[in-house]
Amino acid sequence: MTIEEQERVMADKWLDITIGSFIENMRKLRIRHTGALMASFKKQVIGAANGRLQLQLSYALYGKFIDMGVGRGMGTGVRKGDDGYDRIRNNRGQLKRRQRKAKRWYGKEIAYQTKRLAELMSDLHGTLLISAVGESLPSETVEINL
């Protein structure tokens, strides 16, 4: 198996693990209104022409809003003074029924997983380098005098 194939397999497994971690974080934080966000994850491993590997991970946009704690409570086009505004918010602009609260399912996990991917790739390349050096050494005993 070539190094490109090994990188591709490792990247695909990493994407599976990362998506699993995201879904687990959502379950812990009880982010599952309809399950649409959990079902929206798509992954793709792309090999570029110059030999660089590219990973693509996509999910529904409103997942970012849940992570940041913004975006709930007003429909599009509702402005202060409209009937819909007064029904949902008080005179200071705060939500009547519940406050927005960030549910951090994304930030720390993607930072950890990205660092882990870098470690895995460097281990893969280090192992391949050591094996290439080991194969190129002569088969007889090598003596080094210091």
| Domain residue spans of the chain | 3-120
Q: CA-CA distance, 94 to 88, in Å (whole number)? A: 8
Residue 77: band (very low, low, confident or very high) from pLDDT cuts 50, 70, 90: low
CA dihedral 136, 142, 145, 146 (to 10 degrees): 40
H/E stretch holding 54 reads strand 53-58
What are the φ/ψ torsions at residue 42 (nearest 5 degrees)?
-135, 140
Answer yes or no: pTM beyond 0.75.
Answer: no
Residue 53: band (very low, low, confident or very high) from pLDDT cuts 50, 70, 90: confident
Helix (H, G, I), strand (E, B) or coil at 44: strand
pLDDT of residue 17: 94
